[in-house]
A = this chain, B = another copy of it.
Amino acid sequence: MLFDFDNLVGYAAAVLTTVAFVPQALKSWQTRDLSGVSLPMYSLFTAGVAMWFVYGVMLGSWPIIIANAITIVLASVVLTLKLMHR
């Protein structure tokens, strides 16, 4: 089933770890304060999320594709701002 209990836990987890980057991207954009944000973290993380996206495409898994497509955009905003304001 698409919406059994296991999948609901997985969807909730995916929504939380994706939506989490909205306040970080907004804060970084508005304040341009990136001093405490780690450049290696966002470099590795953005590369990793891009690989999750590829993995989702290979599996044909839309939840993995959609969640990681959104996270790539949000993490890239933070990474770009960090590269501009270090």
Contacts and interface: CB of A to CB of B under 8 A. Distances in A.
A80 interface: no
Interface size class of A (residues with CB under 8 A): 35 or more
Interface of A: 5-6, 9-10, 12-24, 26-28, 31, 33-45, 47-49, 51-52, 54-55, 58-59
Given A23-B40, A28-B36, 7 more contacts: A13-B54, A13-B55, A20-B42, A20-B44, A23-B41, A27-B41, A33-B35
17 contacts: A6-B55, A6-B58, A12-B48, A12-B51, A13-B48, A15-B48, A17-B49, A19-B44, A20-B41, A22-B41, A23-B38, A23-B41, A24-B40, A31-B36, A34-B36, A35-B35, A36-B37
